[in-house]
Structure 1
Amino acid sequence: MSGQNFSKKRQMILDTIRSTDTHPSAKWVYETLKEQIPDLSLGTVYRNINLFKEQGLIIPVATVDGEERIDGDTSAHAHFVCKECGCVYDVPATHAPISQETCALDGFCTHNTVLTYYGICGGCTEL
């Protein structure tokens, strides 16, 4: 649970986002849940995703093929987006140190840091 008092539908949307490491789009979440929640609409999924982002429960990662991809893991880590296949991968913080102190230079007050690498993944490089 998220610690929030969410409706069952809203909680299922959040749980679905948090249960995958695919960095899903709203369409993916909708397609995954539509059989379990027959009255679910894509608009409802988008509204809930926006609410979750505002509350800091999920983070936006990147836009891939015109669709925003999101992450239910809000811990400090970076992402890698393959420009060929569109896959989004987690990059552990140990491989991409993210420091609030570094970002606080020149008097800036940093609330969060988003680091995304773009390139070609190993699978696409081998093709």
Structure 2
Amino acid sequence: MANPIVLDAIDKMKHADIRITPQRYAILEYLIESHSHPTADEIYKALNKRFPNMSVATVYNNLKLFTQIGFVQEMVYGDSSSRFDFSSTRHYHAICKVCGKIVDIVYPGLEDVESATEKLTGFDIDEHRMELYGTCPECLAKEKNQGKTDQTKELELKGI
């Protein structure tokens, strides 16, 4: 049975007179179900076996369409590769500076940040995003293990 979020997105595309091709459906479904904030290339590689005639350009064009519709958020970071996030609800991101992993964060109360900023600055705020940078648990564990390995090597060199 299809994911209700996918079905809702498909329904909205139909109402906007956007044709639902098998490739478009697969790209949307992959974005919704992956939770990994993939790049266009990652999506292409994941769907290549199912759609061997689909090009990377098809993936990019559909991601651009989904972004314009408002289903998908394009996240551009310092590594010059855009990542894409299906956004059914407003949320924020924690990003690992070591491996690049991105985790969604829903934090109630930040919805007021736009109206508070408007009051404080006089700006007409259209949107906002928040990103928190740090080190994910997996990378922290690797660093901790690497530290133990380095200490062990040092002790071996000393003959202990």
TM-score tier, shorter chain, comes to: 0.7 to 0.9
Q: Which has the larger radius of gyration?
A: 2
Pairing of 1:21-60 with structure 2 (within 5 A): 21-60=35-74
Q: What SS is found at the alignment partner of 1:19?
A: helix
Equivalent of 2:13, from 4, 22, 26? 4
Q: Percent identity?
A: 26
Q: Which structure shows the higher helix fraction?
A: 2
RMSD over equivalenced CA pairs, Å: 1.9
Runs of 4+ in 1 over 4 A off after TM superposition: none
Query: How far apart are 1:104 and its partner, in Å?
Result: 2.6
Any gaps of 5 or more consecutive residues in structure 2?
Answer: 1-6, 15-19, 144-160
Pairing of 1:45-124 with structure 2 (within 5 A): 45-63=59-77, 65-94=79-108, 97-99=110-112, 100-105=114-119, 106-124=121-139
TM-score (ref. length: structure 2): 0.70
Name which structure has the greater RCO, CA cutoff 8 Å, separation 6+. 1
Q: What is the CA–CA distance in structure 1 between the aligned matches of 2:105 and 2:32, rounded to whole Å? A: 17
Distance 1:64 1:88, change over 3 A: farther
